[in-house]
Structure 1
Amino acid sequence: MPQDLLAGQQARFRLLGPPGYAERRDALDALAELLARRGELVELIATDFGGRAAREIEILELCPLHSELRYARRHLRGWMRSRPAATTWPFWPARARLVPRPLGVVGIIGAWNYPLLLTVLPMIGALAAGNSLMLKMPRLVPRTGAWLQRELEALFGRERVAVLNGGAELSKIFPTLDFDHLVFSGSTRTGRVVARAAARNLVPVTLSLSGKTPAVVAPGYPLAKAARRIMAGKLLNAGQTCIAPDYVLVPEGLVDSFVEAAAATASALYPGLVARGDYTRIPSSMLYARLDALLEDARRQGARIRVINPLGEPCTVENGVFAPVLVSNVTEQAKLMQEEIFGPILPVLPYADDAAAAALVARHPDPLALYVFDEDRARARRTVSGLRAGGASINDTLFHVAQPGLPFGGIGGSGIGQYRGEHGFRRFSHYQGVFEQSRWTATDWVRPPYGSRAKLLMRLVLGRKRGPG
């Protein structure tokens, strides 16, 4: 039972105490060696998806994890050091310090769209901080989940790292467990369910959700360059990326030109959707049908639909290939603009000026990412600072999450909390404040019975008493 497994991990943690530097470094080294078995991992993930390019898996899942591990191992000793904290003068020469302590047992709910990255990435920060872990793998990737369960539990022992695979009942139970922290990546709707379940036990959460991620193209920015970078970010993993551009805003009069440039880019990136194997599949008939329904709703409301399928190959629910689609003349009332798309469909909308673009973005839930394309760097930075988003890239997409020194996380409707690098270490640590009293201290003056020394000290701290009495 998950409850018994958690109780065992918590009891072990209390008995043995927090692991030291050597044990944490060894854990990160062992994880790096496991992830070096890339051939196995690529085959597992590609099979679970029904088709996903090996290079894409390596670039999007394995490379960020190896980068994160190198960064964590290089900085771990410094992160673990206690740090002096200020003491106010009446307490001198006493000292204060902040000591990072592990939280205990961290629960992680993985996401099917990046089954390795979004499970192991927070795991790295939690291990560096000295925690034990329980991981719940998503049902859509059973082979990857089974491999991680076998290999991680053999590597660390189930009492340190446990991996759970299961159906609806496990999904219901897991967020109700009394973890010391819970991490979830997924939809905003499910994130609310997870947060409510965790709140019953006062379990703090880190939620990486979605929102509607915009790409804003400023006047004067080369459309072909913007289209190339936006479509590259959009079509990786067939748009099944929480930080993929969800819609594009271009200056009025340029919608058709952008659509043409984006269509040309998509054809160049993926000249064959089915036979070549570079284009990722939609791994569920239910997800495929949802994308179809979003397009049909937009079509009924008068939207123009541009399907990109250079070879005219059959793209069906049976083979899981959903061709890239550009949508123009779409209203904000369409479901495409009300929900996160999470697929290879990209609405393109016009805007009149900067204020109109900002107002449109603000009418949607706070996005997990924001992309601004502008050759005027100062204006681009003003745009980024004026819009709420979890993270941002200027003149490109996705790459801000490839930086271990930058935190990853949302704001408002796109999530709670951040991790990556030192931000992850801090997220999964409790910074214990420690006060060390000196041999001589003026605090003896403020203990009863109060006398002249207490009166003198209060006059120094609070100032001379004014007014009656």
Structure 2
Amino acid sequence: MSMNDNPNGVQIRAILDKQRAAFLEAGPSCAEQRIELIDRAIGLLVDHEQEIIEAVTRDFGHRSKDFTRVSEVLSPLMTLKQTKARLAEWMKPETRHTDRGEAWVEYQPLGVIGIVSPWNFPVNLAFSALAGALAAGNRVMIKPSEFTPRTSELMARMFASVFAEEEVALITGGPQVGQAFCSQPFDHLLFTGATSVGKHVMRAAAENLVPVTLELGGKSPTIVSRSADFKAAVTKVITGKMHNSGQICLAPDYVFVPEEKVEEFIATAKVVLAGYFPNLKDNPDYTSVINARHFERLQGYLAEAREAGVELIELNPAGEDFTDQPHHKIAPTLLRNPGDHLKVMQDEIFGPLLPIKSYQTIAEVVAYINAHPRPLGLYYFGTDADEEAYVLSRTTSGGVTLNEVIKHVGVENLPFGGVGPSGMGAYHGMDGFKTFSHAKAVYRPVEGPDLMRPPYVEQVRQIVSSLISR
């Protein structure tokens, strides 16, 4: 359904009803049928590779085409292929121990899954979620972001070319369409986006008691230990932060650096950045901020910090002037010890700005992290096994990557999701299959005395007495 159609709740509900009716009529699908659907999705990514790259590039104003090829084509393609390879294994009933009789869990399709995907990885996050939903045997409805209209329209055409509307439907439109979409009685709803919007999504889903998986992001901290290979750590932090110009829910949001190492961090960051991006303004590998709204938001963070006297270190190797440009590029900027009252330390940054917080002891780092909302990701660089164990056991985050950033999201066999304000539930791999399935408990008892059924004869009393013990 195209953005020009501006669908309302009634029209969206009609598609849902059509999908649910088809799901019930067809009955549960076998592994071969599910694989055939996944193969269609694989074919879309392969056949439309160049169109995807061009659409995403245009939506961003400028985005590295090579980065888009890896993140929006190759990454979801690998997810679909891995899902296809493991699907039959996941579908097998799971035996559970019982003292009497037989017990097992059957993973049953839920029915119709709603997916709300974001703008920062518009193809990747739509197709990756689709993989788990199709693997579990469901019908799927997708609402992509209005911030990437060309990509959304392309995906609408792509899906319509190989899927019937009762199999997979993509619905485009603005915030009102999104609100109507999230208000539908899906069998499960997956939302990826901002925490502030996630609250509205959960509230809308609650009206129909729709279970939700929320992937919300947050301020993912990075810790550089005194035991770390310092240059390697700085290189990986800066590299990870520059992916998509920091417009990643798992981007390192701020970094803890030993107080005696802050100057070295800044000097090393300048060298690392210049090695990757000797110039920025016209560099095809340096991605633009998605739109004017987010550009102004990030500039507002910098202006507020500057007004508060925070030292801003611009990583701008060629000393370029960004005031006159066709896109919304921002020079990567380090902020030395900004106060917690500033918005750059309160909001998820989602851009190429990196606050540096100096520290004396790892205990104060852990205390700071625990005094703030639980993040989607946490990154620790170091070789001190005891310190690493301390950080892992004393902090709570959606996931952790050690001596790197972001990379845990790419391990398909790990659950991906947040905790508390950074989200709830998880998907990817078998965890995604289970999220989009109903784990149905099945028990076949054997004949024997029923301790709950009268009359309570002496034999039953004796059995009960023998069982009540330490």
TM-score when scaled to structure 2?
0.94
Which of 13, 38, 61 lines up with 2:23 in the alignment? 13
Matched residue, 1:451:
457
Query: What are the residue-to-residue correspondences of 1:191-202 with 2, within 5 Å?
Result: 191-202=198-209
Query: What are the residue-to-residue correspondences of 1:27-176 with 2, within 5 Å?
Result: 27-37=37-47, 38-88=49-99, 92=100, 94-176=101-183
Query: Where does the alignment leave 5 or more consecutive residues of structure 2 unmatched?
Result: 1-10
Report the alpha carbon displacement of residue 363 of structure 1 after superposing the two structures with TM.
2.3
Matched residue, 2:427:
419
Query: What are the residue-to-residue correspondences of 1:180-199 with 2, within 5 Å?
Result: 180-199=187-206
Identical columns (%): 36
Which stretch shifts more, 226-235 or 307-316? Answer: 307-316
1:19–1:292 CA distance, 2 compared to 1 (3 A): same
Does the residue aligned with 1:418 lie in a helix, a strand or coil? coil
1:207-235, Cα deviation, whole Å (9 max, x unpaired) = 11112111100013233221110010001
Does the residue aligned with 1:305 lie in a helix, a strand or coil? strand
Which stretch shifts more, 324-333 or 341-350? Answer: 324-333
Whole-Å Cα distance in 1 between the matches of residues 306 and 199 of structure 2? 31
Report the alpha carbon displacement of residue 263 of structure 1 after superposing the two structures with TM.
1.8
Which stretch shifts more, 225-234 or 151-160? Answer: 151-160
Whole-Å Cα distance in 2 between the matches of residues 229 and 261 of structure 1? 11
Which of 373, 378, 384 lines up with 2:381 in the alignment? 373
1:51–1:82 CA distance, 2 compared to 1 (3 A): same
Does the residue aligned with 1:153 lie in a helix, a strand or coil? helix
Does the residue aligned with 1:432 lie in a helix, a strand or coil? strand
1:392 aligns with 2:403: no
Amino acid of the structure 1 residue aligned with 2:362? D
Report the alpha carbon displacement of residue 335 of structure 1 after superposing the two structures with TM.
1.2
**Does the Cα contact within 8 Å between 1:446 and 1:454 map onto a contact in 2?**
no
Which stretch shifts more, 52-61 or 103-112? Answer: 52-61
Whole-Å Cα distance in 2 between the matches of residues 227 and 84 of structure 1? 47
1:149-203, Cα deviation, whole Å (9 max, x unpaired) = 1111321211011100011210221111111111111111111111111111111
Which of 216, 220, 236 lines up with 1:213 in the alignment? 220
**Does the Cα contact within 8 Å between 1:181 and 1:203 map onto a contact in 2?**
yes
1:445–1:383 CA distance, 2 compared to 1 (3 A): closer
**Does the Cα contact within 8 Å between 1:408 and 1:419 map onto a contact in 2?**
yes
**Does the Cα contact within 8 Å between 2:62 and 2:327 map onto a contact in 1?**
no
Which of 312, 315, 323 lines up with 2:322 in the alignment? 315
1:24-83, Cα deviation, whole Å (9 max, x unpaired) = 111112211211132221111111111111211122233321222222122111100012
Whole-Å Cα distance in 2 between the matches of residues 181 and 401 of structure 1? 22
Whole-Å Cα distance in 1 between the matches of residues 453 and 363 of structure 2? 61
Report the alpha carbon displacement of residue 276 of structure 1 after superposing the two structures with TM.
2.4
Matched residue, 2:258:
251
1:446–1:293 CA distance, 2 compared to 1 (3 A): closer
Matched residue, 1:442:
448
Matched residue, 2:8:
none
Report the alpha carbon displacement of residue 18 of structure 1 after superposing the two structures with TM.
1.7
1:230 aligns with 2:237: yes
Matched residue, 2:6:
none
Whole-Å Cα distance in 2 between the matches of residues 239 and 39 of structure 1? 24
Which stretch shifts more, 114-123 or 220-229? Answer: 220-229
**Does the Cα contact within 8 Å between 2:227 and 2:384 map onto a contact in 1?**
no
Q: What is the RMSD computed on CA atoms of the aligned residues?
A: 1.7
Does the residue aligned with 1:59 lie in a helix, a strand or coil? helix
Query: Where does the alignment leave 5 or more consecutive residues of structure 1 unmatched?
Result: 465-469
1:456–1:222 CA distance, 2 compared to 1 (3 A): closer
Report the alpha carbon displacement of residue 383 of structure 1 after superposing the two structures with TM.
1.4
Whole-Å Cα distance in 2 between the matches of residues 342 and 283 of structure 1? 10
Does the residue aligned with 2:260 lie in a helix, a strand or coil? coil
Amino acid of the structure 2 residue aligned with 1:284? N
1:460–1:137 CA distance, 2 compared to 1 (3 A): same
TM-score when scaled to structure 1?
0.94
Amino acid of the structure 2 residue aligned with 1:43? E
1:281-321, Cα deviation, whole Å (9 max, x unpaired) = 11211110000000111111111111122223332474211
1:336 aligns with 2:347: no
**Does the Cα contact within 8 Å between 1:108 and 1:182 map onto a contact in 2?**
yes
Amino acid of the structure 2 residue aligned with 1:5? I
- How many aligned residue pairs are there? 458
Does the residue aligned with 2:77 lie in a helix, a strand or coil? helix
Which of 337, 344, 358 lines up with 1:350 in the alignment? 358
Does the residue aligned with 2:59 lie in a helix, a strand or coil? helix
Does the residue aligned with 1:36 lie in a helix, a strand or coil? helix
Does the residue aligned with 2:248 lie in a helix, a strand or coil? coil
Query: What are the residue-to-residue correspondences of 1:228-307 with 2, within 5 Å?
Result: 228-307=235-314
1:23 aligns with 2:33: yes
